[in-house]
Amino acid sequence: MQERHSVVPKEIFQHPSGISLVPEVVMEGYLFKRSTNAFKTWNRRWFQIRDNTFLYSHRNNDNQVPTMMEENLKLCLVRQAPPNIDRMCCFELVTPSKTHILQADSEILCKGWIRALQRTIQHLHEECIHNTKEIPIFDDDKNELKHSPATTQSQMNDNGSEGSSEITPRGEGNGQGKIKEAFIRSVIAPLSIREFYIQTRQLAGNTICCDCGCVDAKWISINLGIIICIECSGVHRSLGVQVSKVRSLTMDSLDCQQQDVMLSLGNKTVNSIFMEHYDKHKTQYPLISGETSRAEREIFIKAKYVHKLFTSSNKQRTNENGIYFNESGQEDDILSHQYLLLPTAETVSVKSFDRPESRTSDCSEGKFDKSDSDDYFNSDKITESIIGGNMAELLKCLAKGFDLNSIINGNTLLHIAVKNNNQSIIEFLVLNGAKINSFNEDLDTPLHVAVSVGDPLLVYQLIKRNADKSIKNRRGFTPLEWAVESEHANVVVLFRLVDLKSECTNTDSSNTMLDENIEDFLINLQMKENENNLSNV
């Protein structure tokens, strides 16, 4: 059987008839594949690592098109199967959504397949380096970041020679000659994947998975601000985007505001909130580790983020309807926050009145111990957190059960954040369920408020998050009409560019020229503002 497996090109081997000897094949041979259905049956298939893909097929059917095990091996992890598998010589291919269990014919072949797949995945990461000059290479054995040998633009000094490769925080330039570059980075361009990886891993607790403590943590939840491992990321994905929005730390590019959310929180901060009273629940919900099964992992993570059990000082239980009770057996009252989603009859635009039930929203899903939460629901304290950019305090309120769409002194939290032009807090609120088209007591949307502030960058952030530009406020103005009325010329120009982009996208979706025009427009505005600030110093 071992004669049917090989590593190319270092080993010479005999192929079975019907299989051509091609240099693209790294390794091939028979493996048993465990099905993902309820019966968990094992099927023998012919596997190949070919052209940086992992394929399998029926060996006796030469006309069959091979099936691709996973479309993107870069997002996968290969390792020995856990000891609870009832077969020998098994390994697993772990993806963000599922785990494939495979069995080789011997322990030697099992290790050979693991090494071959790991090298293939490493090669795919190295290819990204050559293509983008920015994506990091990772050493899975040491869990370390290796730097690309290519010199990036940020590593060049004014004379064009290689300079310091030290990563500078966003928004800090290297002198007056670098003002424009610094503004491009701080206003439009996010940190590179490499820079963002380094800065994120430097936060307290971010060298391991936030949930199970696994050291191989290369996935993130951008709304919770945590780093997690690939196994926990699969559970987070199953919770739905309303609970956790999962991205790859080493593959996905985030915009500036999303990166700011990640850099403002971190595993230690988030665990201090979601695990605050874990000791009272540790008997029923033991800590998970890298060896924990998927089922146990789901139970713990759901208790932590969906039911938020560990944020309460009282032990809680649920009845058959999922209603939470405290230890005394009394059912907690539902904390329901009413907030305006739609304008009243006096508003000119009534296009959103399709569903009357959507005029208000009741936050009845999250039950909590109110005696433990009252301190965090002080309106002045929440407002101060928004104005001061205290994201951790807002996350604590969210974990305690506060509805981010509540009205405080006539405004939603999003309206308050927009009014104070705190774009990181705006992003945090939107990522965690704040309604982008909600109304305050004056029936202004956050976009109307952004227009009143007069900052085109603030307006553009809301537009990118699908803020509706056609809704009219109490005075009968759309955001564009309100910008004209308020004489904010730069905001008007931005709206015109965005509308032009939408028209062009409908006819040519591949045209990115207008995206560049919008970015150039915003950069030039910030450059002029910076020059004015320098001249006034």
**What CATH number does residue 38 fall under?**
2.30.29.30
Q: Is residue 267 part of a domain?
A: yes
Does 259 lie in the same domain as 116?
no
In this model, does residue 365 exceed pLDDT 60? Answer: no
Q: Considering its fold, how many domains does the chain have in total?
A: 3
Highest mean pLDDT pick, 16-30, 83-97, 136-150, 374-388 = 83-97
Quick one: 122 and 194 in the same domain? no
Tell whether 318 is covered by a domain: no
Q: What is the pLDDT of residue 310?
A: 94
Question: Does residue 169 lie within any of the structural domains?
Answer: no
Together in a domain, 35 and 108: yes
Residue 77: the pLDDT is 84
Please tell me whether residues 383 and 528 are part of one structural domain.
Answer: yes
Helices (H), 244-337: 256-264, 267-274, 294-301
Task: Output phi, psi for 494, to 5 deg.
Answer: -60, -45
Question: Which of the residue ranges 90-94, 149-153, 380-384 would you say has the lowest mean pLDDT?
Answer: 149-153
Domain that holds residue 195: 177-311
Which of helix, strand or coil describes residue 200?
helix
Name the helix (H) or strand (E) containing 511: none
Same domain, yes or no, for 512 and 363? yes
Rounded CA gap, 477 and 458, in Å?
A: 19
Classified as helix, coil or strand, 21 is: coil
pLDDT at res. 126: 67
Mean of pLDDT values over 181-206: 78
Residue 77 lies in a domain: yes
If asked whether residues 246 and 369 sit together in one domain, one would say: no
pLDDT of residue 514: 61
The per-residue pLDDT for 384 is: 94
Task: Report how far Cα 194 is from the mean position of its chain's Cα atoms.
Answer: 16
6/118 same-domain check: yes
pLDDT mean over 324-353: 37
In a domain, 161, yes or no: no
DSSP state, residue 331 = B
Count CA atoms closer than 13 A to 24's CA, side-chain side.
9
**In this structure, are 303 and 414 located in the same domain?**
no
Q: Which residue has the higher pLDDT, 312 or 221?
A: 221
Q: What are phi and psi of 77, to 5 degrees?
A: -130, 135
Instruction: Note whether 218 and 99 are same-domain residues.
Output: no
Q: Are residues 289 and 417 in the same domain?
A: no
Q: Which of 132, 157, 187 is the last residue of a domain?
A: 132
305: its two tokens? 């983020």
Banded pLDDT at 261 (limits 50, 70, 90):
very high
- For residue 146, tell me if it sits in a domain: no
How high does pLDDT run on average in the chain? 76
Instruction: Establish if 440 belongs to a structural domain.
Output: yes
Region 92-96: mean pLDDT is 84
Domain boundary among 311, 341, 369: 311
Band of pLDDT at residue 95, cut at 50, 70 and 90: confident
Of 256, 278, 311, the last residue of a domain is: 311
Same domain (yes/no): 307, 360: no
Contact 234, 96 (CB under 8 A): yes
Helix (H, G, I), strand (E, B) or coil at 145: strand
Residue 504 has which token pair? 């062009």
Output 369 or 114, whichever has higher pLDDT.
Answer: 114
pLDDT for the residue numbered 187: 53
222-229: average pLDDT:
97
With the CA atoms of 285, 288, 292 and 298 taken in that order, what torsion angle do they form, in degrees rounded to the nearest 10? 60
Pair 303, 389 in one domain? no
Q: Is residue 170 part of a domain?
A: no
Listed ranges 70-84, 152-166, 213-227; the one with the highest mean pLDDT: 213-227
pLDDT band at 498 (very low <50, low <70, confident <90, very high): confident
Tokens standing for residue 167: 């990563």
